[in-house]
Structure 1
Amino acid sequence: MKHILLCCCCLFSLGLMAQKTDKADKKANELFERSLESMRVYKYDEAIQFLQEALKVKPNYPDAYGQMGLTYVAKKNYKEAITAFKKLLEIDPDGIRFIRFSYAKALAGNGQFADALRMADEQLAASKNPSVELRAFKKNMEYALTTKPVPFEPKNLGNQINSPDAEYFPSLTIDGKTLVYTRRVGGRNEDFFVSERDSLQWLAAKDMGEPVNSEFNEGAQNISQDGEMLVFTGCDFPGGRGSCDIYFSVKTANGWLAPRSIGTAINTELWESQPCLSPDKQTLYFTRETSDAGADIFVSRRGPDGRWSLAERLGPNINTPGREMTPFLHADGQTLFFASTGHQGFGGLDIFFSRMQPDGNWGPAINLGYPINTIDEDGSLTVAADGVTAYFASDRTDSKGSLDIYSFELYESARPQPTLYVRGYVYDAKTNQRLVAALELTDLATKLTVANIRSSENGEYLVPLPTGKDYALSVSRKGYLFFSENFSLKEVKKGQPYEKNVPLQPLEANAVVVLRNIFFASKEYTLQPASTTELDKLVALLKSNPTMQAELSGHTDNVGSDADNQALSENRAKAVVAYLVQQGIDAKRLKAKGYGETKPVDTNDTEEGRAQNRRTELKVVSM
């Protein structure tokens, strides 16, 4: 883009100045030449200052107005560019032939798409061999005229985050309290900075420091939703495979560990960059250059052994023959934002989003619209867990000197599903010792696993979950009975997490666990389909402990007669045993027992208490 503008500058100056140099004031010409020198090294403000001085000396200097318009286009100050071009044409209407395409860009940058298209058509008619860029511009303007502007009111995050240096690639933890971003320090080296948020505002950002920041370039990072893992791009690192590779660091109680390469399943001799983790940290999206000078978005999945699978290119709804970059997967796990030159847009890189379909594939790419997208390079977007607040980097006129980080409210139809999180820790029910354990969360409606993670070394876990659904939580560790729970996020307060500390019972005689994810309809004893996941875990437990004998017991609340409740509890216990036997468990190892309403664990005076009393339990009889 910069080289194209410089070519325009040279053509313009050679065109009009060759005709009018003999009439120009020497001082104005000298200032004009100095503006060209500044423009060649991208010192746009300095160039404009020289042009303004030239116009003071020679008020009707067409070259200066034309050059000023081109410089404002380079600065993306399209309103001022239009003003300068109009002034040029008042003085010399013939000057249009030198600046028509740039004028069209200024009009498009100002949202005047119809005027921009008209001027592009005029340029096409006047061109013997129209450029590919001009033809693409015309197509973009035709598309722009079919769209309507979307709500967009960006706000600069302020001096606590932004500086005269360039800030970009914001990423956010799910609780909205930690913001990590890249800063190009001194215009050269890229490092990470982090800001914490209190109840009112972002606090002053701090250099993340060693061992993550180093003498080399670190950039294009993504922090995991739980804040415990950072993936990023490292360029020209010792031992790297390509010019840029993907690295990761893990946070411990003592701070961040030294970064490590994410491995050869992802890093190649090509350029890999802009990684993004899924909410459960088991899937990684990233950008890789292609052999034809393009770029595509790839995905890799982490197996049970912790190794990443060989990266695969996403399908045609995402990738095109153009460039696809900067993937961001929202905390809902269902909405992917990315930038593309290949899908139809307004010009340059536009930001798109795609939603995951029921078959697990990504749906059609949807342009976020103008003025979020413009004719310029619109590189990346991050959306907070609420699905409303979006963050991006821009060099708008109110920036602190270069790229700054801004926020805005994303319009409703583009919002991901609001997402909260379940958090807590796992511990031994007898000793209270914190435990590393496997946690699985399942969507009860679809029976699909939405998260499969392990708790940290101190037993803590955090899992993002879309609101509006019911979930089953299952926690397991070798040598312990698994724990099960179900909960609803259909009616929750904004920002209010579901907190659950999980006690695990050692696998020994007389240990008891409540099977919360075994479901029956009211007053019935036929197992509901949503029970399958829990029942299959019970099968696996019994098969992995072949000498274990167990009692399956049914319990009810006190609604109804004693006899009816006794019969119901017995039949429910028998239904569970029957399922286990069907799955190959020896019936001699199992006992079905009904206790009716005789063993309540909570009051029967409230609905919540009665719900706790309606349960199925597993008791270890012997090992």
Structure 2
Amino acid sequence: MKNFIIAFIVFSIWFFLGSRYYFCHIKKLCETSPQETVVRDTLPEPLRKNYDTEAFSGFIIRKESDSVSLSGPGEKLEKGIFDFLNREQAQELLITGYYRPEEKDSLGLRRAANLKDHLVAYGINPDRIDITAAEDYYNYDSRGYFFGGITLKYRDIPDARKAIIEKGITNKILYSRFGSEQFVPDNTLVGYTEELRNYLQRYPEKKAVITGHTDNIGTAAANEWVGMQRARNVMHYLVGEGIPREKLEALSRGPHDPIESNATPEGRRKNRRIEIKVN
């Protein structure tokens, strides 16, 4: 009997430890309440969902200068605005540049304009960025810098500006990398595609004509062919992004309609373009 009791105790301990190992370490059923994982959104609060934005503290302005800098990576700021405006076609961005009482309002306006230029270079439609200036009280540090001086705000597009934006959509010039062997849509085309698709949904009776233009280097026939290939590349991209094929037409004018002189590299660069007109 004594040996049976000892054996039973040993078996019970073995069974308990073995069961605990199986359920806790193999099946993971004995873990305590897991720690909550906190994921912080690195995009500033003003640029997520809140239309009535607060000041983004990442901007830096300088005394007696219209320059605007970012204290952190600008890519997240640019991409956040780019993605938001693509999603929210009824919204635009208002940039306010601030100036001190002894400074001129034009300084605040130039600061806002510089930031706008930076965002436009990223590929954001300039027609959907408005700028203004406002007087404020703040102090530059000993080096002449102030952390702030710019606010960003999303807002519904005012009626007075809707006509400007629609005109830009219906008369668009694109300078994507049309000279490269492989067609690569840039941010300007990506953003415009969203606007054009939204516009054609609101005006289903309208269609878009995509015309390829070139410089005058080479024969007219060769340039007409190149212009058509570039126009078709854009058309195929638009179709791939959900715009109905029957809403689009591709044409080429080759070198016949220059907008600048072909005598200079810059003029030739501007002539190599895609024009999209909606009627």
Report the structure, 1 or 2, having the larger strand content. 1
Report the structure, 1 or 2, having the larger helix content. 2
Greater RCO (Cα-Cα under 8 Å, separation 6 or more): 2
Q: Please, what TM-score do these two structures have when normalized by structure 1?
A: 0.24
Q: Please, what TM-score do these two structures have when normalized by structure 2?
A: 0.48
